[in-house]
C-alpha cells in the first residue's frame, strides 16, 4: 500500500457519514422552524468532517503507541501498525487537521453570529476547542478516556447532543427542549456503533488493557446494552414525531428496519470477527435516518 492510500485509510472514510448525521438532523430541526443557511450548513459539515478525521488519526496514533493495534486486533490494519506512517508523521497529520477544523469552526461561528453576539461566539469557540481535545484524548495520553470506559459517554455527548443541538442553535439562536429527543436518538445510535466496535475488539482490548465499557460489562451484558441503545433511539424519534405532529417525518423510521434486523444478528453472534460487517450497517442506517429526516423537513 502506498503512503497516500495509507493516509486515506487512516482517515477511515466509512466513518464520515455517521459523523455528519447530527448536523443533518440539527439542520432539519432548524428548517422545520423556517431557518436555513447554506453557508452555515457547509461550514458545519466541514468542521465536523475535520474533527472526525482528527479523531481517526488520533485513535490510530494512540492505539499504535500503546500497542493496542497488534496481531490480535480484528479489522483492517491501522496506519501506524503497518509501519508505512511513523508516529511523528501521524502527529503532524493531527496538527494539520486540528488547524483545519479550528479554522472552519471560526468561519462557522462568525457566519452564524457575526460580530454582535460575543458570548454566543465565545461559547461555541470553547466548544470547538473541547471537541478538538475530545477527539485527541480518546486514545492519546495516559489519561485517555477511551481506555477508562468513557468513550460511550463522549460519543453520546459530541455526536448526539453537541452535534444536533449545537447545529440547530447556529441557525436559530435559541434552544427547544423537545429537540433533545432526536439528539438523544442520534447520540444513542452513534454510541451503538462504538459499542459494536468494542464488542468486536473485546478480546484484543482486554489483552491490551484497553478497558472499554464492553470489557467492563462482558459480552452478554454488552449485547443487552446494545439492544437498549437502538430501541431507546427509536422511541426517542417516535416521541418527537408524535409531539411535533409532523407525521411525514415518520418515514425516517424506515431506517430502523435494518437496525432491528441487525439486533437479531448480534443476538445470534458467537464470533466477534463476524461483527465487523455490522459496523457499516449501523453507521449507514444512522446516516440514512438523518438524511431522510432532513429531506422530509424540506417537503
Mean pLDDT by groups of 10 residues along the chain of 299 residues: 84 92 98 97 97 92 71 66 85 95 97 92 96 91 86 95 98 96 98 95 87 94 97 98 96 97 94 91 97 96
Identify which of 27, 33, 50 has the alpha carbon closest to the alpha carbon of residue 182. 27
What does the domain layout of the chain look like in residue ranges?
Answer: 15-297
From the number of C-beta atoms within 10 Å of its C-beta (0-12, 13-18, 19+), residue 299 rates as exposed
Q: Give the integer Cα–Cα distance in Å for 222 and 266.
A: 10
Q: Give the integer Cα–Cα distance in Å for 221 and 227.
A: 10
Q: How many CB atoms lie within 10 A of CB 220?
A: 8
| Cα 152 off chain centre by | 10
Output the pTM of the full model. 0.94
DSSP string across 33-64: TT---HHHHHHHHHHHHHHHHHHHHHHHHHHH
Is 267:223 a contact under the CB 8 Å cutoff? Answer: yes
Q: Is 67 helix (H, G, I), strand (E, B) or coil?
A: coil
Q: Give the integer Cα–Cα distance in Å for 233 and 222.
A: 17
Give me the helix-helix angle, 118-137 and 38-66, nearest 10°.
Answer: 30
**Cell 455526536 maps to which residue?**
159
User: What's 173's DSSP letter?
Assistant: S
**Cell 466509512 maps to which residue?**
14
Return the pLDDT at 3: 83
Sign of CA dihedral 44, 45, 49, 55: positive
Return the pLDDT at 63: 80
DSSP string across 184-247: HHHHHHHHHHHHHHHHHTHHHHHHTT---HHHHH-HHHHHHHHHHHHHHHHHHHHHHHHHHT-G
Residues 6+ apart with CB under 8 A from 29: 164, 168, 176, 179, 182, 297
Return the pLDDT at 194: 95
Give CATH for domain 15-297. 1.10.600
Return the pLDDT at 205: 87
Is 84:8 a contact under the CB 8 Å cutoff? Answer: no
Amino acid at each position: 500500500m502506498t503512503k497516500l492510500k495509507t493516509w486515506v485509510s487512516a482517515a477511515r472514510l466509512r466513518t464520515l457519514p455517521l459523523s455528519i448525521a447530527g448536523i443533518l438532523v440539527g439542520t432539519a430541526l432548524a428548517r422545520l422552524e423556517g431557518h436555513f443557511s447554506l453557508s452555515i450548513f457547509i461550514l458545519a459539515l466541514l468542521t465536523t468532517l475535520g474533527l472526525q478525521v482528527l479523531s481517526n488519526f488520533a485513535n490510530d496514533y494512540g492505539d499504535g503507541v500503546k500497542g493496542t493495534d497488534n496481531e490480535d486486533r480484528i479489522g483492517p490494519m491501522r496506519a501506524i501498525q503497518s509501519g508505512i506512517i511513523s508516529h511523528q508523521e501521524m502527529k503532524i497529520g493531527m496538527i494539520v487537521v486540528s488547524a483545519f477544523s479550528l479554522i472552519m469552526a471560526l468561519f462557522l461561528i462568525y457566519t452564524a453570529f457575526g460580530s454582535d453576539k460575543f458570548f454566543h461566539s465565545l461559547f461555541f469557540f470553547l466548544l470547538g476547542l473541547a471537541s478538538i481535545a475530545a477527539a485527541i484524548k480518546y486514545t492519546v495520553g495516559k489519561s485517555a478516556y477511551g481506555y477508562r470506559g468513557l468513550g460511550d459517554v463522549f460519543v453520546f455527548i459530541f455526536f448526539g447532543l453537541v452535534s444536533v443541538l449545537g447545529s440547530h442553535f447556529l441557525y436559530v439562536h435559541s434552544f427547544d427542549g423537545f429537540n433533545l429527543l432526536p439528539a438523544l436518538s442520534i447520540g444513542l445510535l452513534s454510541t451503538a456503533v462504538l459499542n459494536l466496535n468494542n464488542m468486536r475488539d473485546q478480546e484484543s482490548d482486554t489483552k491490551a488493557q484497553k478497558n472499554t465499557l464492553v470489557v467492563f460489562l462482558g459480552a452478554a451484558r454488552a449485547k443487552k446494552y446494545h439492544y437498549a441503545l437502538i430501541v431507546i433511539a427509536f422511541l426517542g424519534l417516535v416521541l418527537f414525531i408524535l409531539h411535533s405532529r409532523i407525521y411525514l417525518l415518520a418515514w425516517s423510521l424506515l431506517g430502523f428496519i435494518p437496525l432491528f434486523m441487525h439486533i437479531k444478528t448480534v443476538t445470534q453472534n458467537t464470533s466477534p470477527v463476524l461483527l465487523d460487517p455490522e459496523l457499516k450497517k449501523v453507521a449507514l442506517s444512522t446516516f440514512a435516518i438523518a438524511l431522510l429526516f432532513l429531506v422530509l423537513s424540506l417537503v
